[in-house]
Amino acid sequence: MTNFINNIHGGVIKATMKSRGYNKEEIPNAICIIEELEKRNVKNYDKFRNYLFGKICEKAAFKDTLTEGKVALIFAYNGFNVTYLGHKKGPDLLVEGFGHRFYVEVKRYRKDMTTERKLSQYSDKGELIGYGRGADGAQKDYNILCRDILEKTKQLPKDQIGIVFIWSEDDKIGKGDFRTCINMISDESLKYKYERQYKHVTIHHIGSRERLTIEEKQQSKNLSGILFYSKEKVGPDFWFFLNLKAQNLISRDLAERLKKLQKPKEFF
């Protein structure tokens, strides 16, 4: 085992994680990510490690923090130098390399069990159901996504390039929602069509999206771009949105690098 495991009593960590309901894949995966961050010289790795395992008894918070580590690892894997800044007000990561410097704020979406139960009720019937979150489907995922991105944008420095990285572990927040969300931020087409299979169910919706408020439009100018990851096995590993209305624009070279980001398959 590595010095990391020996130094912080890996057996105790594993036992604690197991007692808190972490599964057999989650335990070694978390440890491997920590070790890989150290190997790839992520700055403040030790602070990240200590903060992460300080959250071990709060499963949701632990997974949120681990996601920040996963995103740091992705940038490091793709040749960038990464500094962990998280667990305080401000962005989670500082990323540098190839003549570029930018900040990253991470948002993780967990599974929504209320909507999951609603969909399960229809799965055996093969019925069409309305698109939306919650028991009544009133909350639209693209709308939630857009508002959460703008809220995360508040953590980014106003005079620097800033990116929000969306990590969706909810298979109902997908790339269709992301497309509608970026249209909302870009103030493009007000019409949208959403159709997707869930088991034997077709989730569908055709309608008109909302416009951003004046305050939200102003807030969006502090957003240079968005990276989006979901479990959907469609298209590239990560989808990238370049905000052409941003105050701090991403260069063409950096935009191309972000579009071509790859994930280390052995960890994700």
pLDDT at 201: 47
Contacts of 263 (CB under 8 A, 6+ apart): 74, 77, 229, 237, 238
Residue 89, domain member (yes or no): no
Number of domains making up the chain = 2
pTM for this entry: 0.84
Q: Is the pLDDT at 134 greater than 80, yes or no?
A: no
Residue 1, domain member (yes or no): yes
Residue 84, domain member (yes or no): no
Mean pLDDT, residues 208-234 taken together: 86
Residue 93, domain member (yes or no): no
pLDDT at 124: 53
Select from 101, 140, 108, 139 the least CA-distant residue to 257. Answer: 101
Instruction: Classify residue 87 as left (phi > 0), alpha (psi -120 to 50) or beta.
Output: left
Q: Which domain holds residue 243?
A: 98-268
How far is residue 129 from each of residues 51, 203, 205, measured CA to CA in Å?
Answer: 42, 5, 9
Residue 86, domain member (yes or no): no
**Are 155 and 44 in the same domain?**
no
Mean pLDDT, residues 218-236 taken together: 90
Which among 48, 78, 108 is the end of a domain?
Answer: 78
Residue 34, domain member (yes or no): yes
Contacts of 236 (CB under 8 A, 6+ apart): 259, 260
